[in-house]
Amino acid sequence: MLRSIARLHALKQARPSRSFYTCRTVLAQAQSQAGSSSGIQDAPIVQYVKRKVEERRKLESELSGEALSEEDIRRVRKIRELEPLQEAWTEWNRAKESLQETTALLNDPDPTMRSMAEEEYATLSESINTLVEDTFPSLLVPPSQTAKLSAIIELRAGVGGSESALFTADLVRMYTRAAQEMGWDVSLISSNILEAGGMKDAIMEVKGQGAYDALRWESGVHRVQRVPATEANGRVHTSTVSVMVLPLTEEAESTSSEDDLFKMSDIKLEVMRSRGAGGQHVNKTESAVRLTHIPTGITVSMQDERSQHQNRRRAFQILRARLMDLKLNQEMLERRDLRRSLVRSADRSEKIRTYNYAQDRVTDHRLGMSLKNLASVMDGEGLQDFIRALQERHRDEMLEDVLAQQ
């Protein structure tokens, strides 16, 4: 209970940027004027839903009474797609009309009647708010095509030498705990552990529905500001770690020439002897595998598994994830018409978050949001607050795109 209260307090201290609430501000126009019929009617999302419902009625009127033509079949399909929106619109109108009737009773001279009207008014207002803020957006925003995908997280130490490697290991622990909290299976499939401590790089596999959609916004440069254990003078050092989150499909390897992501003729496959610690098999068998996708120049090397077959399977798995990530980002850029905000979020070189140990603060620069409980974030629990906020921002941006089409 105390931990939940602390997290709630931290969230209240967070200060999201204006861009984060761009769409929320639009929706709030309807919420803040629940008692005003004109105020509700003028909300952009309400006007958009009204037009879609009118479009559905027009399609129904255009259906011929005879055998369905190809055009009629297209109309029927569209009518069925808009049916949930029609039902929500009917519910919204019913609540709005009831609210207007209740408003007239708020000044009733009978205290009992006035009290009942106030309760009904609050209930109806809440229903309208839910429809405008949750129901309408959920019906208008297209479902995610990657909702069922798992994720691969690649981490690489950047600026900061040994301190960067230590923080890479800290982030691996953070993502492991966050994934476990969310009910996903997580495993470390590759790592380059340094003798001095920490990791030069690592690859994690997070299996579970929704893992990619939740973690994809972690891609970017993570900056840490803290005093290293080896720092005698107590000076704060700044280090960075690069994180890339890729979509993971169930198919680990494909040798079909009809693969939608690559053709085997475009793959250069090399085998070699493993290097580094690993037992007697090291440098005696050619178990390490390196794949190069010639059209894009993407290279994947894998040597952590015991056999060439296992390394080959893992390498193809990573290659497919990187190519799918490239494809998804290209599709987003085309769909958003190269919007500046999307270009920034897809830029893996951008600093997205700062972990300041001296001030016990974690700041996400895309949201303009800070949490004061750094330990909670590094334990994985507090990280979920950032993940939820980023998912909500993405939904708001998608809704903005829909409303911009009106």
Q: Summarize pLDDT for 208-225 with one digit per residue, the tens.
A: 999 999 999 999 999 999
Per-residue model confidence as pLDDT tens digits over 273-287: 766 544 444 445 667
Average pLDDT of span 226-230? 83
Residues 6+ apart with CB under 8 A from 273: 282, 283, 284, 285, 286, 287, 288
pLDDT, tens only, 376-404: 999 999 999 999 999 999 888 888 888 87
**Secondary structure E strands in 68-198:** 150-157, 185-193
Query: What is the token pair recorded at 399?
Result: 């809704």
The verdict on pTM exceeding 0.95 is no
Sequence spans of domains, the chain: 11-140, 150-358
368: left (phi over 0), alpha (psi -120 to 50) or beta: left
pLDDT of residue 173: 96
Which CATH number describes the domain made up of 150-358?
A: 3.30.70.1660
Tell me the two tokens of residue 374.
């750094």
For residue 6 the two structure tokens come to: 């602390």
pLDDT of residue 252: 43
Average pLDDT, the chain: 80
What are residue 184's phi and psi, to 5 degrees? -100, 160
Considering only the C-alpha atoms of the chain, give the largest distance between any 2 of them, rounded to a whole number of Å.
94
Residue 6 has pLDDT above 60, yes or no: no
Model confidence band, residue 41 (pLDDT cutoffs 50, 70, 90): low
- Residue where the block lists tokens 């003729």: 265
